[in-house]
Chains A and B, each alone.
Chain A
C-alpha cells in the first residue's frame, strides 16, 4: 500500500487555494473540514504545481474582513478571480494577498454572501460580509459529505439556526411551517412526547414512516424526540428526493433529516446564555353539562333501569344552586410553567476548537401531574493533529424525566376521557381525598406515581486522514446508548390497589446502537471536469433489552417503587432483541464547469430483520442538473441571477420493522398464563405470528424534477419540485381471517404512490440599513394513492379499537385500491328516525324511533356493513407555511404561520360526549338537543351512536374537515445596541417575547385540529389510522419571555 503514496508530494506552501474546490473536497460528514479550515488551505490536485512569484505589477494588499456587526471573520476565503491564487483570513480576520490593480478579489465564506472587490491602487481593503440570503450558493450537508448548493442535484431544504423556530422545545418543533413537503404533527401534547414528521407523504403501511435522523453524520436508531438540545443545532438539512437519500439505501425512503451541531470553528471565543420562561394553557375546553344537568340525566337512566335514584331532591337543589358540584376540566387543566436555560461556549484556535453546552428544560404539563424535565450537556471537539490528520469527537448526554399520566393519552381509556366524562355532580374533596375515590377523575392522577426517565448518551469519534491530496480516508465510530426507567407505584390506600395491598413496577430498557463507518473520498479535476468519488461501509448493531418487575402485597406504602423488596409477591420478565445492519455504498459526483452536473449513488444494504431468502437489498440512484444560470446567454440576459434544472431518479427502501417478524415464534406473556389450582399461575407458550421466510425490503422508486430560480441578485428565490414515488412490496401486516387463529400476517404486498408538487418562495422584500423584511412561503401538495394490494387487491380494514364498551365492532379506516392511505370508512348519517318513519320497516327493521338513520348506499333494502363508504382521508393533502421576518434597527419580529387543507378528522371525542345514556358526563348540548318523544326535533339520537341495531359510530356526522391556519410561532425581540452592552463586556444582548400556537383559524369543532392518530405501538395505526381525534393530550398555547446574552 505504501507505494501508493506519491514520493514527491506537493508542498503545501506551493499550493494555491481555491475555494470552490475546497468545498468539493470537504470530504465528509459534517463540515468537519470546514470547521477545521482555519488550517492552511491547500490546492487540490493541480496538473502542475504552480510556484507563485511576486510579479512586478502586483501590490501587497492587506485588510480585515468583518460581518455586519463588525465582528472579525477568520477563515474567509479570498481569491483573485479567474486565477487559482488566494488566501484565507487569519484568526483576527485579517489577510494579505498580492494582486494587480484591476484584479477582482472574491471574498467568500459559508453563511455569508460572496462579495467581489476590484482592486484599485489602495493597499488596504476592509470588507464587510453580509449574512447570506443567497441560499442557492450555500454549502449544505448531504449524506456522507457536503456540497455547494449550486452543484446539488437533489431536492433538499437546509435551515440554519437562524431559520429555525424560536424557543422550540424539541427538534421537530424547530421545523414547523419552515419546509415545503415536511409535515410536522403534534399527535400528543404530553410534555416530552415526540412529534411526528412525514416527508412527502406516507410510503409505508406497516414500517416506520418517520424520516431517518442523522446526527452529525451518524444515523440514529429512532426519533430524536426531546433527546437533543435545540440550541445545540447549527443547521438541519432535510433530504427529500431519492437521489439524495439513496445513499442511505434501505433507510432512506422516508427522507432524511440531517442535523449538524455547532462547533467552535471560525469564531472568537464566546460564551452565550439563552434563557426563557413562560406559561402554557390548553387551547380550548369542552362545553360540558353542569352538575345539576347531569344529575337529572343520571336519575332518569337509573329510573329506566330499575336502580335506586342516586340524586335526591335535596341534592338536586344544591346542585342547581351551585353549592355542590365540580367543573372537572378546571380541576385537571392548569396554567403550567415552562423554563429553559442554556449556556454554551464556542471558540478555539486554528488547531483546536470546541463547542460545549449545558441545558436545562423544565416543562409542566397543562394537565396536572404531568411534566418533563431535561438536563443535558455536550462537547464537540475538533483538532488537527497535523496537516493530514484530523480528529473530531462529539459527546452529548442528557436525561429527561417524564411525569407521565396513569392513563395514556389517545388510548381508549385515556385520561382525557376520565376527565370529560367525570360526573360534575360529584364534589371535589368532600371528605374523601381524590386518591381514595376512584370515581373522582383526579384519583387517577393522585393515586399513582409514574415516572419515566430516559438517559441518552451519544459519543462519536471521527478520524480523517488525507494521505495524498484529494484523497481522504475517514473512519467514524459511534455509540448511541439509551437507558429508560419506567417506575410505577400505587399505594394500598387507593381503591385500584387496595385489593393487592399496593402495586408497583420497575422497568428497565437498554438500547445500544453501535456503529462503524469507514469512508474514502477522492476529489480531483481534469480541466473543467470535476470529480468527487466516495466509497464506504456502514456496520450497525442495535440491541434492545428490557427487564421488568412488578410487585404486589407491600408490607408498607412508604418506599414504593424505590424498594420493591418491601413487597411479598413479584412477577418478572426480561427480553432481548437485536438488529444487525451491514451496508456498502458509493457515489460519483461530476460536474463540468459547475454547469452540467451528474451524481450517481449505489448502496447495498443487508439487514437481519428480513427473511432468510432476502437479506440484501440494492439501491441505485442517478441525478442530473443543469445550472443554466451559468450559461453566458442567460447570464448576459440579466433576467436570472441563478437558474438550475434538476432531475433525479432513485430506489430507496425501508427496513424499519421490528426484529423477529420473519419467524414463527412462541412466546410467554400474559395471554399464555393459566392456573391449574385456582391460586398459583403457570406460564405456557403460544405462537405469536405466522412465519415468512421471504420477507424483504419495501422499495420506493422515486422521480424528482426541480427548478431553482433566482431573480434580482437572488432577492427572490423560487424552488419548485414535482415528484412521483411508488412504493412496492409494501411491508404489510395484512389482516387475515381470524378463523386461522391469527389476525394478521406480515408480508410484502401492494403498492402505494405519492405524487406531489412543492413550491418554495423566498423573498427579501425590503433591505436597507435600518429596515429588513424577508419572507418565505412554502406550499406542498401530495396525492397519496394505494395502487394495489397483493394478489386479489382485497380491502384491508384498520383500527381495531372501540371508543366505548357499548360500541359495535367497527374498523374506522380502510386500505383500498384507488384510495389514499388513511381513508376513513363508515356510514352516511341521515338524521334521526322519527315515530312511524318508513325506514323502521325497511332499511332499519330493528331500530326504534330516536335511533340514528343511515343511508342504504347499495339499495339492497337494509343498512348493514355493506353500506359503508370512504368518508375522507385523515392525511391533509396540502401543507402551507408562511414566515415573515422584520428587523428594524435592534427590533426584530418573526412570524411563522402553518396551515393544512384537504384532511378530515373523525371526531370521536365529540361523538363520545354526545351519548345521552352514558354513565359519564357529556356536552351541554345533550340537555336541550336530545331526541325524545317530546323533543322530536332534537338532533342527538336518544341512545347515542353506540350499539344501535344499524349503522355505527363511524359515520359522516363526525367526519369533519381538519383545515386550519395557525400562528405557530411568533417572536418579537430587541437587541440592545452593542455600544451600551460593551461596557459590561457583553457583545450581544437580546430580549424577546415569544408565543406559540397563539391564534388558530379552523372550522373544526373539536379541541384542536392538529391531532393525528391513536397512540398505539402498531405502525399500521400510525400510518393508516390517522385522522382520529380521541383522548389526545391537548395541544397548548405557550407564552415565553426570553433573553440571549453573548460575552
Chain B
C-alpha cells in the first residue's frame, strides 16, 4: 500500500509539473490600439503630437478652454459683458462673488495645464525623433518644436494673467519626481522668462505663413505678437514696440470696408482672413459638433433673437458709447425682430431707437454681440473663429506702446486711425490729445469698442490701471469701471486683489503643497 501511495503522489507531481512549467511567460502587457512612447519614432508621430497639442486649445471641445470657459474668466468680471440670472457660475464671475469652488475657474485651470502637459510631452517626443534620417527635414522638426513651444507659452500667458504665480512644470511626465506631482507655486517672473524663451524659439523657427489648408497653425508672426502682448503686460514698452513692429512687417492687413469691413470679418462664412494672426479654429463639418466646435455661437445670442442661450448679455451702457456711424455697432443687437414677432430695441437714452414699450415693441434690457453668429437651430455647429491674436490688436498695442514711450505721437495716431477709419469713424489728430494720459485713455476706449467679447477686456483694464499709476495700482481702472456695473457696489472689496483669481478648489484639495491659505487676499 505504501508503495502505491507513493506512486500516486509521483503521478500527481508529474501532472502538476507538466502543467506548471509549460508556460511561465507571456504575461507582458501588450497595447494594440494606442501608442507607446517607445514606438513614436517617425516624423509622422511628431506631426500627430503637434496636432494633439493644438487640440488642447479646445480641450474636450464644446466649452473647453478657448472654445468657451476661458473667455468667461476674461469677460465676465469686466464692465461690458454681464450674465443672466440663471447662469450662476457666470454670475459669480460677473458680480465678483466667486470663490475657489467656481466651476469655470476650475475648468480653465485644468485645461490650461492639460495643454501645457501635452506640449511638454510633444516636445520630448519630437526631440527624440530623427526627422532628417526618416525622410523628413530638420526644418520641420524645428517648426514642430516651435509650434508646441508657442502653444505652451500661450497657455502660460493665460495662467499667469489669471493667477500670477503658478505651478511651473516644463518636462514630460516620464521625468516626474514625486515632488512634481504636488508642484509649488513658481514666481510669475520665472514663468515669464520661460515663456519668452519659448516664444523666441518659436519666432525663429516658425514659418511666416502656411498653405491655405494649414492656415490655423502658429506662425512666426503669432509668436512675435504674443511676445509683444507679454511685453505690454510687463510694461516693457520698448521691447513691445520693437517686437510689434516686426509683426507689422509681416504682411498682415485689416479687412477693409470694401471687403465688408469689421462685420464681415466675423461672418461665419469667413473661414480665414489675413487679419487673423492666430485663432481657435473649429470645423464646420457636421460631425464636429461638441468635438471640434466652440460654444460662442450658442451663448452669444439670446433665445428671442435666434434661439441662442444668451449667456453673454452686454450692458446697455456699452451700446451708448458707440457713434451711430461706427460699423462696429452693427456687431450688437441694437434692434431686431424676436422669434415671437415683436420688435426688441435699445431704448433711446442708450442710443437706440425705442421710445417706449407698446404692443409690438419691447425695450431691450441688454444688447448681445454678433461676433459669433450661429444658425439658429438646436444643433449649433459652433464653428466660428475665436480670435486669440488679430492684427488690429497688434496695431493698437503698438500705438499704446509708442504713446507710453514717446507721449502723443503721430505714429500712434496713424495706427489708431487705421482702426477707426475701417469702421467709418473720423481720424484723430494730434490736437485731440493734450497728454499721454489722454491718448492712453482714448486707446483703451477704442480697444473696448474694437475687441469686446474677444477676451481682452480684463487684461486691458489691469494694464490700463498699471500704466496710469506707473505700475502701482493694477486695479485703478478695473475698480473705476467695474464697480458701477455691480448689482451691489458694496460687493467690491479693497481687501481683495481682483487681478488674480483664487487657485481652484480642485488644485487646492489635490495638491499637498497648497492649502486654502494660498487664496488669502484673492477672495472676499
Contacts and interface: CB of A to CB of B under 8 A. Distances in A.
Contact of A740 (B55, B113, B362): B113
Interface stretch (A333-341, A663-671, A752-760, A976-984): A663-671
Contacts of B57: 674
B429 to A, nearest CB: 40
A806 B285 contact: no
B8 A470 contact: yes
B354 to A, nearest CB: 13
B120 interface: yes
Interface string A295-322: 0000001001111100000000000000
Interface string B302-315: 11100000100100
Contacts of B61: 670-671, 673
B258 interface: no
B35 A685 contact: yes
Q: How large is the interface on A (under 10, 10 to 19, 20 to 34, 35 or more residues)?
A: 35 or more
A4 B7 contact: yes
Given A672-B55, A943-B88, A794 B512 contact: yes
A678 B15 contact: no
Given A537-B20, A866-B516, A740 B378 contact: no
A672 B55 CA distance: 5
B440 to A, nearest CB: 33
Contact of B15 (A473, A498, A743): A473
Interface stretch (B100-108, B244-252, B412-420, B441-449): B100-108
A305 B48 contact: no
Nearest to B121: A687
Interface stretch (A574-582, A708-716, A887-895, A902-910): A574-582
B113 A738 contact: yes
A1017 interface: no
A809 interface: yes
A264 B182 CA distance: 63
Contacts of A580: 26-27
Given A670-B291, A808-B102, A809-B504, A676 B215 contact: yes
A569 B286 contact: yes
Given A500-B289, A741-B118, A664 B37 contact: yes
Contacts of B362: 308
Nearest to B45: A685
Contacts of A663: 29, 31, 36
Interface in A443-484: 467-468, 470-471, 473
B510 A736 contact: yes
B27 A737 contact: no
Contacts of A473: 15
Nearest to B378: A495
B15 A677 contact: no
Interface in A581-599: 582, 584, 586
B55 A684 contact: yes
A946 B342 CA distance: 33
Interface string A486-498: 0000000001111
Contacts of B289: 499-500
Contacts, number: 381
B88 A946 contact: yes
A684 B103 contact: no
Interface stretch (B169-177, B194-202, B464-472, B474-482): B169-177
A500 B19 contact: no
A865 B514 CA distance: 14
Contacts of A497: 379
A802 interface: yes
B182 A737 contact: yes
A671 B516 contact: no
Interface stretch (A245-253, A765-773, A948-956): A948-956
Interface stretch (B232-240, B276-284, B390-398): B276-284
Contacts of B32: 575-578
Contacts of B511: 736-737, 739
Interface in B219-249: none
Given A736-B182, A743-B110, A864-B99, A674 B27 contact: no
A266 B292 CA distance: 65
A735 interface: yes
B28 A608 contact: yes
Contacts of B180: 740
A735 B287 CA distance: 33
Q: How large is the interface on B (under 10, 10 to 19, 20 to 34, 35 or more residues)?
A: 35 or more
Given A524-B5, A687-B118, A806-B86, A569 B16 contact: no
Given A308-B342, A737-B181, A737-B510, A684 B51 contact: yes
B212 interface: yes
B183 interface: yes
Contacts of B501: none
Nearest to A48: B1
A683 B51 contact: yes
Given A666-B35, A865-B100, A739 B109 contact: yes
Select the residue from B27, B35, B302 with max chain A CB neighbours within 10 A.
B27
Interface string A503-536: 0000000000000001010101000000001011
A688 B97 CA distance: 35
A745 B281 CA distance: 32
Interface string B1-42: 100110111111011100110111011111111111100100
B381 A499 contact: yes
B204 interface: no
B160 interface: no
A674 B118 contact: no
B505 A741 contact: no
A498 B377 contact: yes
Contacts of A807: 88-89, 103
B34 A660 contact: yes
A23 interface: no
A582 B21 CA distance: 11
Contacts of A552: 286-287
B181 A736 contact: yes
B172 to A, nearest CB: 8
Given A660-B29, A675-B281, A802-B103, A742 B55 contact: no
B264 interface: no
A120 interface: no
A810 B101 contact: yes
A569 B12 contact: no
B11 A467 contact: yes
Given A738-B507, A947-B91, A518 B19 contact: yes
B510 A735 contact: yes
A947 B88 contact: yes
A665 B214 CA distance: 27
A809 B89 CA distance: 9
A684 B282 contact: no
A495 B377 contact: yes
Contacts of B110: 738, 743
Nearest to A443: B378
Contacts of A797: 506, 509-510
A72 interface: no
Contacts of A1: 11, 14
Interface of B: 1, 4-5, 7-12, 14-16, 19-20, 22-24, 26-37, 40, 45, 47-61, 84-89, 91-92, 95-103, 105-107, 109-110, 113-114, 116-118, 120-121, 166-167, 169, 173-174, 176, 180-183, 210, 212-217, 271-272, 281-289, 291-292, 302-304, 310, 313, 338, 340, 342, 344, 362, 364-366, 375, 377-381, 383, 385, 488, 491, 493, 504-514, 516, 523-524
11 contacts: A305-B365, A499-B378, A499-B381, A522-B9, A533-B12, A571-B287, A584-B20, A685-B51, A686-B49, A736-B511, A741-B173
Given A685-B49, A738-B113, A742-B117, 17 more contacts: A301-B85, A306-B366, A307-B304, A467-B11, A536-B19, A574-B33, A608-B30, A668-B52, A670-B291, A681-B287, A686-B49, A736-B510, A737-B182, A741-B117, A743-B110, A810-B505, A917-B86
Leading 4 A-B pairs by shortest Cβ distance: A741-B117, A947-B88, A306-B365, A684-B51
